[in-house]
C-alpha cells in the first residue's frame, strides 16, 4: 500500500516555486502577492489561513492577512473586496469560507474580480474551467489533480467515484477528472446525500474521492480491492486523550481500508497541503498577468 504523501510533495513543489520567485526577484520582476480575508474566529479557518500565509512566506511571496470581526456587515465586507479588486499591488486574494451566517457568501463571491480569484470560485472561472479554457482552477480539486499526476496514477478509462457535490470540491472534481486531459479521461460518478446504494457505487471505484465531511464514513466493505483513495475530509473528532481535546479524521476510515487499497492520502498530510500549493500556483500565475 502506497501512502500518497501530499505534505512531502507540497514541499517539493514549494521549492520549485521558490526557485521561480528567486529568479523573478533577480530579474527585477513582480513578486507574487496573495491577500487572504478572514472573518470571525472559526478555529479551523484560522489554522487554514495561517498555513496559507506561512506557505507564502516560505516561497518568498508577499502576503497580507486581512482580519475582520464576525460582526462585520455585508456592505463592509463588500468594500474590503472592492478595495482588493482595485489594489494593483495584490495579484490575487481569497475570502476564507465559511463566512458567519448573516453574510451572503454568494454575493461576496460574485463581487471578486475573476482576474484576482485565485480560489477559482467565481462564475467566470468555473465557466472557463468547464469549457476547458485557461482559468484559475479551484485549489482542492486542482491540488488532487497535481497529486495524481506527480504520483503517476493512471486515471484514463478508470471508474472514479466522487462523494460529495460541493461547489468547491466534489462538483469541480468531476469536471477535471472527466475532461480530455492527463490526468482526466475518467468515467466519473458523483454521489451525494440522495444517492441510493452509495456503498455499491463506491465498490465499483478504481479511484474514490471522498469529500462529504462525515468522519470515517468510508469503510473497508465499501472499497474495491486495490482502489486508490483520495480523502478530502478534515473533521475534528472529540478525543479527550489528545492535548487539544480532538483529533483530525478524514472521511475515510484509514485503519479499516489500508489493508485493502493500493494507495491512499493520509489525513492530515494528504490533500490539505496540496490545496495550499495549488493556491500558490494560481497566485504566481496571477502575478504574471499583465
Ligand atoms: N474553506 C474551505 N476550503 C476553502 C478554500 O479552498 N478556499 C476558501 N476561500 N475557503 C475555504
Mean pLDDT of the chain: 98
Q: Are 220 and 264 in contact (CB under 8 A)?
A: no
72 is an annotated ligand-binding site residue: no
Please report the pLDDT score of residue 267 as a whole number. 98
pLDDT tens-place string over residues 85-96: 999 999 999 999
Q: How many CA atoms lie less than 13 Å away from 12 in the CB half-sphere?
A: 9
Question: What ipTM was reported for this prediction?
Answer: 0.90
Among 283, 186, 272, 289, CA closest to 5: 272
CA 199 → CA 57, 121, 223, 226, distances in Å? 43, 30, 8, 16
Among 230, 227, 231, CA closest to 262: 227
Please report the pLDDT score of residue 223 as a whole number. 98
Q: Are 278 and 146 in contact (CB under 8 A)?
A: yes
Would you place residue 290 in the very low, low, confident or very high pLDDT band (cuts 50, 70, 90)? confident
Q: Which residues line ligand 1 (CB under 6 A)?
A: 94-97, 119, 139-140, 168, 275
164 is an annotated ligand-binding site residue: yes
pLDDT tens-place string over residues 116-171: 999 999 999 999 999 999 999 999 999 999 999 999 999 999 999 999 999 999 99
Average pLDDT over residues 49-65: 97
Cis peptide before 268 (omega within 30 of 0): yes
Cis peptide before 237 (omega within 30 of 0): no
Cell matching residue 127: 465557466
Please report the pLDDT score of residue 35 as a whole number. 98
Domains and CATH numbers, the chain: 28-115 (3.40.50.10860), 139-271 (3.40.50.720)
Name the residue at shortest CA distance from atom 6 of ligand 1.
Answer: 139
| CA of residue 40 to ligand 1 center, whole Å | 15
DSSP 8-state code for residue 257: H
Whole-structure pTM value = 0.97
Amino acid at each position: 500500500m502506497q501512502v500518497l504523501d501530499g505534505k512531502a510533495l507540497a514541499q517539493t513543489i514549494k521549492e520549485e516555486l521558490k526557485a521561480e520567485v528567486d529568479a523573478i526577484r533577480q530579474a527585477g520582476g513582480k513578486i507574487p502577492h496573495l491577500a487572504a480575508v478572514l472573518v470571525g474566529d472559526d478555529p479551523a479557518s484560522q489554522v487554514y489561513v495561517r498555513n496559507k500565509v506561512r506557505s507564502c512566506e516560505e516561497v518568498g511571496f508577499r502576503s497580507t492577512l486581512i482580519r475582520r470581526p464576525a460582526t462585520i456587515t455585508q456592505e463592509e465586507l463588500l468594500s474590503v473586496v472592492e478595495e482588493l479588486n482595485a489594489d494593483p499591488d495584490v495579484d490575487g486574494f481569497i475570502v476564507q469560507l465559511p463566512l458567519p451566517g448573516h453574510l451572503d457568501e454568494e454575493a461576496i463571491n460574485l463581487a471578486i474580480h475573476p482576474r484576482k480569484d485565485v480560489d477559482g470560485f467565481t462564475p467566470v472561472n468555473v465557466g472557463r474551467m468547464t469549457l476547458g479554457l485557461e482559468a484559475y482552477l479551484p485549489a482542492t480539486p486542482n491540488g488532487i489533480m497535481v497529486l495524481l499526476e506527480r504520483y503517476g496514477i493512471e486515471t484514463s478509462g478508470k471508474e472514479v467515484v466522487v462523494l460529495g457535490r460541493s461547489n468547491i470540491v466534489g462538483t469541480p472534481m468531476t469536471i477535471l477528472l472527466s475532461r480530455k486531459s492527463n490526468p482526466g479521461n475518467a468515467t466519473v460518478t458523483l454521489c451525494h446525500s440522495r444517492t441510493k446504494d452509495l456503498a455499491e457505487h463506491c465498490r465499483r471505484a478504481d479511484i474514490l474521492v471522498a469529500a462529504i465531511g462525515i468522519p470515517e464514513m468510508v469503510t473497508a466493505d465499501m472499497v474495491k480491492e486495490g482502489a486508490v483513495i483520495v480523502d478530502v475530509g478534515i473533521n475534528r473528532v472529540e478525543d479527550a486523550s489528545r492535548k487539544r481535546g480532538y483529533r483530525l479524521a478524514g472521511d475515510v476510515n484509514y485503519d479499516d481500508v489500508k489493508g485493502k487499497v493500493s494507495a491512499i492520502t493520509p489525513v492530515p498530510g494528504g490533500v490539505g497541503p496540496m490545496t495550499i500549493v495549488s493556491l500558490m500556483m494560481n497566485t504566481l500565475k496571477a502575478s504574471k498577468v499583465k
